[in-house]
Amino acid sequence: EMEFPDGEPPSTEIINQWLDLVEATFKDNAKQNAGNNTHDKTIAVHCVAGLGRAPVLVAIALIENGLDVINAVEHIRQSRRGAINLRQLKYLEKYQPIRKDKGKCTIM
C-alpha cells in the first residue's frame, strides 16, 4: 500500500514506490509483447473516493512519461470528473519529473 493523507500530495518515497511499480509493469508488458503475448499487466489504483490521491499518482506517471500537467489532468478528468483538488493541482503544476530519462507520452 502507498498511503498518504487525503487531499495532500504524496511524499517522495511514495512517488518513487509508485514509479518503480509503473516502470516494472511497463517493462514486463514490453517483454510479453515481444513474445506476442497479448495479455498485458495492468495497475489498479484507488483511494476512498477516487478523486484525489489515486488521480494524483496517475498524473505523476503521465508527467514522468512526458505529458504536460494540463493534458494529464484533463485526461484524468475525462474519466473522473472532479478529480484532483486545487492543492493537488498546484502541487502538480510545480512537479518536476524525477526520472528525466523517459520518453514522451502523447494522448490522441
What contacts 31, CB < 8 A, 6 or more positions away?
none
Distance between start and end Cα atoms, the chain: 31
The whole-angstrom separation of Cα 99 and Cα 6 is 25
Please identify every residue annotated as catalytic: 6, 47
The whole-angstrom separation of Cα 53 and Cα 40 is 24
Joined grid coordinates for residue 67:
505529458
The whole-angstrom separation of Cα 77 and Cα 82 is 7
